[in-house]
Amino acid sequence: MVNDNKTLLQSDLVRLGSRLRFFRTQRGWTLGELARRTNLSEAYLSRIESGDRQPSLAVLFELARTYHTSMAALFEVEPPSSAVVVRSVDANVYEGNGLLYRLLSNKGSLANLHPIHVTIPAQRQNECLYQHEGEEWLYVLSGELRLTLGEEEHILQPFDAAHFDAGIPHRLDALGDRDTEILLVSCEASHALLRSYL
């Protein structure tokens, strides 16, 4: 019975972490940005999002306040959408980290793949490198893209693609005086699957 309770708690923590990650990525925030807004450490927030740490009520109140939502919303389970098609008129445009993006899937934060249409403004003012677990694949639709991966820079033209480990610090910049548009597919590592092998 004790082991069953531990398994249920772990499952709930992973689900809560996934929900919190959804709130953060929906706003285009990195863990560093969330840490700055909440005065919580980036490492602690990462462990909460991965389901490895049980947050206190005070931390949950702070996260709900930061996300401008209710405590109950942090625990809601997103019902999987039965919609297969995402119509362009239904895809909301979000802004975060100087980027404009539209989510191209209705499957929510519990899906394995997260396809996004991203517009990188030509005049984007951003010097930050970002990194997170998982991998990313991108495809340039228009404009010219500079992909910074660690110490390397790659210039991509329309119809070029890149596939990389998102744990490598990276940044996207539009080159020239035109915005750059890309398709980006992000796939986060499954913590539950990883733990099953350890």
Q: What is the pLDDT along the chain (198 residues), one digit of tens a residue?
A: 334 344 446 667 778 888 888 888 888 888 899 999 999 999 999 889 888 888 888 999 899 889 888 887 787 765 555 567 878 777 777 777 788 888 888 776 556 788 889 999 998 877 788 887 788 999 999 999 999 999 999 999 999 999 999 889 999 999 999 999 999 998 865 444 334 333
How much is the pLDDT for 126? Answer: 73
Measured at the alpha carbon of residue 24, what is the angle toward residues 21 and 47, in degrees to the nearest 5?
45
Is the distance from CB of 66 to CB of 79 less than 8 angstroms?
no
The boundaries of every CATH 1.10.260.40 domain in the chain are: 2-75
How much is the pLDDT for 80? Answer: 53
The boundaries of every CATH 2.60.120.10 domain in the chain are: 88-187
How much is the pLDDT for 162? Answer: 97
| Length of the chain counted residue by residue | 198
Q: Assign domain 2-75 to its CATH superfamily.
A: lambda repressor-like DNA-binding domains (1.10.260.40)
pTM over 0.75: no
Helical axes 42-49 vs 2-26, angle rounded to 10°: 120
DSSP three-state, residue 124: coil
State phi, psi for 188 to the nearest 5 degrees: -85, 150
CA of 193: how far to CAs of 177, 189, 198, in Å? 44, 8, 9
Positive or negative CA dihedral for 157, 159, 160, 162? positive
How much is the pLDDT for 1? Answer: 37
How much is the pLDDT for 142? Answer: 97
Is the distance from CB of 96 to CB of 27 less than 8 angstroms?
yes
Pick the CATH number of 88-187 from 2.60.120.10, 1.10.10.60, 3.20.190.10, 3.30.70.60: 2.60.120.10
DSSP three-state, residue 172: strand
How much is the pLDDT for 166? Answer: 87
Is the distance from CB of 122 to CB of 147 less than 8 angstroms?
no
| Structure tokens belonging to residue 148 | 């910074």
